[in-house]
Amino acid sequence: FPHCNPLLSHHHVNSTIRCVLMIEFICLCLQILVER
């Protein structure tokens, strides 16, 4: 799994959680844009 943030590469779990949160956030934004 590629790290989203190289600065957190030594915290694998942290970077993975951050990636997932970022993806969910983007999906939420897309949903809001589509509903408009």
Q: How does pLDDT run across 1-36, given as a tens digit for each residue?
A: 455 555 555 566 677 888 899 999 999 999 999 998
Q: Is 0.85 topped by the overall pTM?
A: no
pLDDT at 9: 56
Name the residue among 6, 9, 5 with its Cα closest to residue 22: 5
Which alpha helices (H) appear in the chain, and where do they start and end? 12-35
Kindly give, in sequence order, each residue whose CB lies less than 8 Å from that of residue 8, ignoring residues fewer than 6 positions away: 14, 15, 18
The amino acid occupying position 32 is: I
